[in-house]
Chains A and B, each alone.
Chain A
Amino acid sequence: MTEKERGDAYWKANLRLVSMLLAVWFVVSYGCGILFVEALNTISIGGLKLGFFFAQQGSIYVFVVLIFVYVHQMNKLDRKFDVHEE
């Protein structure tokens, strides 16, 4: 692979990862927290309705996890395509 091809392949892999993570980001907040909140509110865990939980707590926990998954996967990609920092 030339440096240019390697750069392109790295960018493609990066875009794939980011799209997947943003899909989850969208589903937990806009999906579970807003669009389908009434349906999820019919389910309760502990004293919390599920839709309400996603809107006020759950989505935030998922956001944190998403960023750390991104950090970890990107570090792997950086090495795989040999574009990591010294």
Chain B
Amino acid sequence: MELQTWIYLAVGGTFLLYMGIAIWARASTTKDFYVAGGGVNPIANGMATAADWMSAASFISMAGLIAFLGYNASAYLMGWTGGYVLLALLLAPYLRKFGKFTVPEFIGDRFYSQTARMVAVLCLIVASITYVIGQMKGVGVAFGRFLEVEFETGVMVGMGIVFFYAVLGGMKGITYTQIAQYCVLIFAYTVPAIFISLQLTGNPLPQLGLGSTLSDGSGMAVLDKLDKIVTDLGFAKYTDPSGSKLNMFLLTASLMIGTAGLPHVIIRFFTVPKVSDARKSAGWALVFIAILYTTAPAVGAMARMNLMDTIQTGPVGDPTANLVAAERPQWMKNWEKTGLLKYEDKNGDGRIQYYNDKNPEFAAKAEAFGWAGNEMVKVDRDIMVLANPEIARLPNWVIALVAAGGLAAALSTAAGLLLAISSSISHDLLKGVFRPDISEKGELMAGRIAMAGAILVAGYLGMNPPGFAAQVVALAFGLAASSIFPALMMGIFSKRVNNVGAICGMLAGLLSTLIYIFIFKGWFFIPETNWLPNNADAWLLGIAPESFGAVGALINFTTAFLVSRVTAEPPEHIQALVESIRVPRGAGVASAH
């Protein structure tokens, strides 16, 4: 069957499935809309959380990042999984016991302050909107490459699908579609990985394939061979660390703390029936996430090896050992059309040389070979996962599956974020501040309207991405790490931290992180307004703006403790509240009040 037919079948089939689920899982109460009725099975919730968490970035970009950064990409692998340990041990069970609908609601109640709640709402909305724009862009790109439609049309189709199940079903509709989307995306991710691992090593498990010996008869291990291939061409050794250790340490910490503080993930744990279910559910979420995250390093390493081998077909320096440009494979031509891959015959020999011309030692050697610079002038990291099946010459249905998987990853995350945004608008802002006496029916309607509005805004920003859209790691994780996570943790683990302390702490963490990011990336990300150049020499102690969230969290904790120490103790009933959330007994289903 034709590739296009397969793709239409896979994408169309999964979309019909999501719409079917939406009709079946309609929300009829605010409890359905905010927390899926509170009766979701913990394993099912784990699966939904995994889909909620694994975005277009995890599915499409991460393996490419690993392929080109090697060991140095480990911060993302550890950061985006290790955060679940913090979430499970420090937050999820207690927030479930508290039993309300949104994250700002906990902060507002525990610190008996509308101001604290509003600061939390602001952080939540900025972090979630930054994050959701990337998903919308991901949907547009996937449609553009695979279904050959305009980028804008792709975004609009994606919006339409999310609109259908998120407005109709709220958290309930989102939960059950996320479960379906997890199945689609994990199947789509692992099938090509298994094929490629089998081809290269004969081992069907990519996780084991990464540590196996190549089956090409060389007797070399995958990573040893890869280290040799890349260093032979002047690139940095794949398995070796480079750069500042402090920065790597803080980047990992910021990603972990940020992960645990992202509201769209936390609210998933409000949907399970019991406190013990919330703990268990976090464990299952990480199992489902780990399946993809432990496959990604194998995909990255093997894709890099295939790419290098395709171009450098024999010993470096042998004039016939470089790919003849006219005979380059079809997948290269396909990706050149998207502009993500570009080749330029600099020395006019009709062959392609791909090497590191920024490495002075190797560049000198290359000149002696008659090479005139790296001829793969553009290799976008993001194409590694998407082009992988084509590079490995896998059957058409696998390529179609990858297209459907990428869309599932982007849509499921977008829906989770949109719910976090709309519930904080309808529940925290409207019911919490402006119209406390709103009826149940009115709030449900407001929730649906807020959801529809959020989808329109996200779609518009996806088509016209503002400067901050590319700053997901710095902005979304930075805000979650420096403001939301510390406030939640102190609310549970300290009885002494009071309203003034928490507000000062959140503002100190938030502002220090934002200002540090702005100094290097430009004020409000407006180009050319940065005070200092964004490179390792200018950074304070070599700390990148992306890694500052952990420092912001530390500032938050310190400020909150010091300020609380010199101000009044929290009132009796708040201390009793903290005591009650610390024990599991008596957790009713999540309730409005």
Contacts and interface: CB of A to CB of B under 8 A. Distances in A.
A43 interface: no
A56 B207 CA distance: 10
Contacts of B211: 45-48, 53
Contact of A34 (B85, B252, B294): B252
Contact of B74 (A33, A68, A75): A33
For chain A, which range describes its interface: under 10, 10 to 19, 20 to 34, or 35 or more residues?
35 or more
A14 B493 CA distance: 11
Contacts, number: 135
- Going nearest first, the 8 A-B pairs with the smallest beta carbon separation are A47-B221, A55-B74, A67-B283, A48-B211, A46-B211, A56-B297, A83-B583, A47-B211
Interface of A: 7, 10-11, 14, 18, 21-22, 25, 29-30, 33-35, 37-38, 41, 45-49, 52-53, 55-57, 59-61, 63-64, 66-68, 70-71, 74-75, 78, 83-86
Q: Is the interface of A mostly helix, strand, loop or mixed?
A: helix
Interface string B528-554: 000000000000000000000000000
Given A59-B82, A64-B283, 19 more contacts: A14-B582, A33-B252, A34-B245, A34-B248, A47-B212, A47-B213, A49-B223, A57-B294, A57-B297, A59-B77, A60-B81, A60-B293, A63-B81, A63-B286, A63-B290, A64-B286, A67-B89, A74-B93, A78-B276
Nearest to B238: A52
B223 A47 contact: yes
Interface centre among A34, A53, A74 (most CB of B within 10 A): A34
A65 to B, nearest CB: 9
B357 to A, nearest CB: 27
Contacts of B245: 34-35
Indicate the member of A7, A37, A38, A71 with the most B CB atoms within 10 Å: A71
B333 interface: no
A47 B240 CA distance: 15
Nearest to A45: B211
A19 B239 CA distance: 32
Interface residues of B, number: 50
A29 B586 CA distance: 36
Contact of A71 (B280, B583, B585): B280
A75 B283 CA distance: 14
B495 to A, nearest CB: 11
B227 to A, nearest CB: 10
A38 B241 contact: yes
A85 B279 contact: no
B85 A22 contact: yes
A54 to B, nearest CB: 9
A7 to B, nearest CB: 6
Q: Which of B74, B212, B579, B586 has the most CB of A within 10 A?
A: B74
Contacts of B82: 25, 29, 59, 63
B252 A61 contact: no
Contacts of A22: 85, 89
B221 A63 contact: no
A25 B280 CA distance: 18
B303 interface: no
A66 B283 CA distance: 9
